Amino acid sequence: MKQSVSFPHPPAEAQAGLAALVRLDPDLAGIIPAAGPLPWRSRQPGFAGLLQAIVGQQISNAAAAAIWRRLQAVDGALEPGRLLLLDEAILRGAGLSRPKVAHAYSLAEAFASGRLATAQLATMEDAEAIAAISAVRGMGPWSAEIYLLFALGRPDVFPAGDLALAAAVAALKGLDTRPTPKALRALAEGWRPWRGLAARLLWHHWRFLTGRPAMDDLTAVKMAP
């Protein structure tokens, strides 16, 4: 089934956050005037949103979008109990590497057994939710933070291990090298309580500089009617 995805402008609270970020760090002020309005991307909460994070690990957005489209077309792949019944060859045929197939099974088992639950994750504090997700094989802090940002809309989550964020900060601030995750996390302290919004803004800046679309943009373009 074809799906369309819209990317509306940030909600009112995020608009207020953008104004606050510019006051906290004037370097961020020029991003939207140059790159255009900030698109507001979101993902499905629960198993599907976390599975999409697995798909996007350590590959290009274009490759991730292609694999995600194929995986969505596999009957039962987005339901934990049904994915556990799928043969590995089917998931490999959709483009998942052997390790990512193992991670998908682990994630499905965590939901099927109740160790992870969509509603429970939504009520947890950020650190608690990140720890719960990261305890699943193949679901490290980056995947957990991406989920909290795009599926739960958390405003102060910052995936400091993201290479594109490091590159965006280096370009924006004229650094000779990309900051390490530790240095990037320290820098992001100055953006509290809007670190998640700062991450969205920095990704927007990096896509503008490089011309590389987001995984969700590519999926939306290919799947729209």
As for how many domains the chain has, the answer is: 2
* Nearest in space to 217 (alpha carbons), one of 15, 106, 60: 60
Q: Are residues 56 and 30 in the same domain?
A: no
pLDDT band, very low/low/confident/very high, at 2 (cuts 50, 70, 90): very low
pLDDT in tens, 107-128: 999 999 999 999 999 999 999 9
pLDDT in tens, 25-66: 999 999 999 999 999 999 999 999 999 999 999 888 899 999
Q: Are residues 131 and 68 in the same domain?
A: yes
Q: How far is the C-alpha of 216 from the C-alpha of 203, rounded, in Å?
A: 13
Q: Are residues 112 and 179 in the same domain?
A: no
In the chain, % helix, strand, coil (3-state, to 5) comes to: 65, 0, 35
Residue 126's domain comprises 47-150
Q: Are residues 92 and 113 in the same domain?
A: yes
Whether 197 contacts 18, CB under 8 Å: yes
CATH number assigned to the domain comprising residue 184 = 1.10.1670.40
Give me the pLDDT at residue 221, please: 45
Does residue 6 sit within a domain?
Answer: no
Q: Are residues 141 and 166 in the same domain?
A: no
Backbone Cα Rg of the chain: 18
Kindly state the average pLDDT of the residues 8-26.
90
Whether 181 contacts 167, CB under 8 Å: no
CATH number assigned to the domain comprising residue 91 = 1.10.340.30
Kindly state the average pLDDT of the residues 180-207.
97
Of 4-18, 72-86, 185-199, least confident by mean pLDDT is 4-18
* Nearest in space to 197 (alpha carbons), one of 158, 163, 162: 158
Kindly state the average pLDDT of the residues 194-205.
97
Predicted TM-score (pTM) above 0.85:
yes
Q: Are residues 34 and 92 in the same domain?
A: no
Of 110, 128, 150, the domain-final residue: 150
Of 68-77, 89-98, 209-218, least confident by mean pLDDT is 209-218
* pLDDT mean across residues, the chain: 92
